[in-house]
A and B are shown apart, each in its own frame.
Chain A
């Protein structure tokens, strides 16, 4: 299992770079990772999605898909694309310290 090190943080990742242990995640690490994926500053809107992702996956055992963010989380898909430009779900999963979602929709 590869290990990533940045600043004071050390955490295990899979071959793609997603965290393998959600307990190695912290808000401070999340802020650092956000900078790496091009998000300079995490707003309360960013944090709301990340918190939902972590809460929901703790219950269901899987990373929520974009559709679930919409139906269960009540987030606006358009806004999610603006908050996490490019690959919204993958970026949210990454910043939440979760595996990438496996669901199709």
Chain B
């Protein structure tokens, strides 16, 4: 490889990640000095809570970071083929629900927090889901199933939580093919040795 001349400014492309460490002991964690790793734990099944994990996973992979994602509890819906294209967004319990378009009616209204009772009106969840999906689509963000394909192609490792899997009586055939396996929490702790772990 060619040497970089003195005074030459070049973006940090890091070292090319090669080694995939998938096992280790607790004592290794403290001394882990391999390439940077990230572990994302996705525990929610609402549409708005599915995207943060997917986007972070995609960005981490794009930065050359070894990335592992663990789908647990309601997060299993993200990797369940029967549900992952139908994830929903509800404004109930979300006080940060604004309508950007209201700003056209009267300036300032776009920051108005919608009253909670409105979320309980029939069809409201469906409407807000549709709206969020459209906003995502406008920004060229893929749907959840397509996102999983993208992550798989980017080399992100994905696992389903064994306990949740059994609890929800899920079928292996329903798992998105990007999921590498149904593993226990302890397995994931081992896999995530030396990783920065993010719980979503």
Are A38 and B1 closer than 8 Å at their CB atoms? Answer: yes
A70 to chain B, nearest CB (A): 7
How many A-B contacts are there with CB distance less than 8 Å? 91
Are A17 and B9 closer than 8 Å at their CB atoms? Answer: yes
Interface size in chain B (residues, C-beta < 8 A): 30
Q: Considering the complex, give the chain B residue whose CB is closest to the CB of A70.
A: B150
Q: With A4-B8, A88-B62 given, is the CB distance from A36 to B140 under 8 Å?
A: no
Q: With A35-B1, A77-B153, A87-B64 given, is the CB distance from A6 to B8 under 8 Å?
A: yes
Q: Is the interface of A mostly helix, strand, loop or mixed?
A: mixed
Are A89 and B62 closer than 8 Å at their CB atoms? Answer: yes
**B26 sits at the interface (CB 8 A):** no
A64 to chain B, nearest CB (A): 10
Q: With A86-B14, A87-B64, A105-B140 given, is the CB distance from A77 to B9 under 8 Å?
A: no
**B11 sits at the interface (CB 8 A):** yes
Are B11 and A67 closer than 8 Å at their CB atoms? Answer: no
Name B1-25 residues within 8 Å CB distance of A: 1-2, 4-5, 7-17
**B168 sits at the interface (CB 8 A):** no
A36 to chain B, nearest CB (A): 6
Q: With A17-B10, A87-B62, A90-B13 given, is the CB distance from A35 to B153 under 8 Å?
A: no
Per-residue contact bits, chain B 58-89, to A (CB 8 Å; 1 contact, 0 not): 11001110000000000000000000000000
B39 to chain A, nearest CB (A): 19
Q: Considering the complex, give the chain B residue whose CB is closest to the CB of A32.
A: B2
**A68 sits at the interface (CB 8 A):** yes
Name B104-150 residues within 8 Å CB distance of A: 139-142, 147, 150
Which A residues are within 8 Å of any B CB, using their own CB? 2, 4-6, 13, 15-18, 32, 35-38, 40, 66-68, 70-71, 76-78, 81, 85-91, 94, 100, 103-105
Which B residues are within 8 Å of any A CB, using their own CB? 1-2, 4-5, 7-17, 55, 58-59, 62-64, 139-142, 147, 150, 153-155
